[in-house]
Amino acid sequence: MRTQYKQLDHLLLEHQHYWRFEPFHASQTLEHRFTHTELGTWLDGLSMSDVQGFKQDLPSLLSQLTEYLPQLTELTQFCQLDKSALTSLTLDSHLSSGIPGRKLSQITAMGSQALATHHGSEWLEWCAGKGFLGRILAHHSQQAVTSFEWQESLCQQGQLDADKQQLPVHFVQGDAFACDHQSVFNSNQHAVALHACGDLHVSLMQHATQYQLPTLSIAPCCYHLIQADRYQPLSSLGQQSNLALSKTELRIPLQETVTGGERVLKHRFLEMSYRLGLDELLRKELGFAEYQPIPSVKKSQLQLGFEAFCQWAAERKGLALPKCDFIHYQTLGEQRFVRMEKLSLIQMAFHRPLEMWLILDKALFLEERGYQVGLTEFCDKKITPRNILIHAVLSR
């Protein structure tokens, strides 16, 4: 893992020109960072349907891009994870009731792996939500589960459901960053965390290693949800890295989302092209030199058209828009949307390598603290793109 991390770190730094930018902002000019290169010529020549095709077919995209960036092959190899343990539990209907479809698939897949690799005589479910995973672990192992969660209402609902099913689950309401950790952690627990965001999964690793928990199964997500301005590497190797990912860059791996259908694509096109069109309008008509962030917008608002969107946004920003050619700016927005989508294709090749870099830093941290660490994909990417499981067993 150390060698893999070092090589990944080196390749990411060497290729930073290809991923360290924001396609939304980079779409502003006709000439872009790849113009006057073979890669740029290839990119400019793509039709929008080519772009859509590649967005939904990463292997084809990588095979094309490798012609221009040969080291992508090596980078991609570092992202290959064991999928052999892809299994899932079959649940009685009373256990699965109330769990939404995709969440249920994630939980049964992760639960199955946690049970198969279980060491410990009880469980700690970190950032439990309503404790779906904890209930399944309690049912299958008949061991006690402490479900730690911040939101009081989720704790109450979760406790109610567990009690109804007569499961040995005990909810503890608390703040991961300001609780009496000694009363939450103990050295008999196998800790599980499904999609605990940024600092939350980091705090689990720090406390679990301190209290010498025998096993950890963590599926991280939302790497950018951290207090610090930049990613704070945990492992000693990570601390030597020069990558220094900013919060914005920590969002890059999360761009890899489950692709939606026609309706989702259409909605994204409208929203992004309107935002980009308005950016053009504000720069040219009102002389803004910087992008003005606009709050999130309802679908129904977008359906009223570009001009109505601009008026709505201007009201929120306390701006008065001049009389101008809205159709012209809408067209500029649509052209920028195409450029943005093309530029983001290049960055797409680096989503998973960046995520692997983050995951390996965490894995190395656990290794340094005496754990044997394995990395797997616990479910298919279609169920959730955040499908990497860090599994660590204390070996001394």
Ligand X SMILES: C[S@@+](CC[C@H](N)C(=O)[O-])C[C@H]1O[C@@H](n2cnc3c(N)ncnc32)[C@H](O)[C@@H]1O
Chain residues in the site for ligand X (CB under 6 A): 103, 127-129, 132, 149-151, 154, 175-177, 194-197, 200
Q: Residue 372: in which H helix or E strand, if any?
A: strand 371-377
CB of 253 to ligand X, least distance (A): 16
**23 or 111: CB nearest ligand X:** 111
> Is residue 292 classed exposed, middle or buried when 0-12, 13-18 and 19+ CB atoms within 10 A define those classes?
middle
Shortest reach from residue 176's CB to ligand X, in Å: 3
Output the smallest distance, CB 386 to ligand X, in A: 9
Closest to 336 (Cα-Cα) out of 285, 281, 288, 260:
281
In the complex with ligand X, the residue whose CB is nearer, 25 or 181, is: 181
Q: Whole-number minimum distance, CB 195 to ligand X, in Å?
A: 4
Question: Rounded to the nearest whole angstrom, what is the least distance from the CB of residue 84 to ligand X in the complex?
Answer: 24
Closest-by-Cβ residue to ligand X is 129
Whose CA is closest to 254, among 385, 58, 77? 385
Please tell me what DSSP assigns to residue 211: T
Minimal distance, residue 362 CB to ligand X, in Å:
17
Measured from the CB of residue 224, what is the shortest distance to ligand X in angstroms?
Answer: 13
Looking at the Cβ atoms of 194 and 340, the one nearer to ligand X is 194
> Quick one: 206 or 311, whose CB is closer to ligand X?
206
- State which residue, 80 or 182, has the beta carbon closest to ligand X: 182
Residue (194 or 359) nearer to ligand X, CB? 194
Q: How far is the CB of 129 from ligand X (least distance, A)?
A: 3
What is the SS3 assignment for 317-347? HCCCCCCCCHHHHHHHHHHHHHHHHHHHHHH
Sheet with 169-173, edge to edge strand ranges: 169-173, 145-149, 122-126, 189-197, 215-221, 388-394, 371-377
Report the distance separating Cα 59 and Cα 81, nearest Å.
15
User: Between 136 and 314, whose beta carbon lies closer to ligand X?
Assistant: 136
CB of 108 to ligand X, least distance (A): 12
Q: Is the dihedral of CA 39, 42, 47, 50 positive or negative?
A: negative
Q: Cα torsion at 78, 80, 84, 87 (round to 10°)?
A: 110
- The full length of the chain comes to 396
Nearer to ligand X, 132 or 350 (CB): 132
Determine how many CB atoms are found less than 10 A away from the CB of residue 236: 11
Tokens of 342: 């093309």
C-alpha–C-alpha distance, residues 369 and 362, integer Å: 11
- CB hemisphere CA count around 299 (13 angstroms): 6
Which strand (E) or helix (H) includes residue 50? helix 48-55
Which C-beta is closer to ligand X: that of 144 or that of 202? 202
Q: Using alpha carbons only, how large is the chain's radius of gyration in Å? A: 23
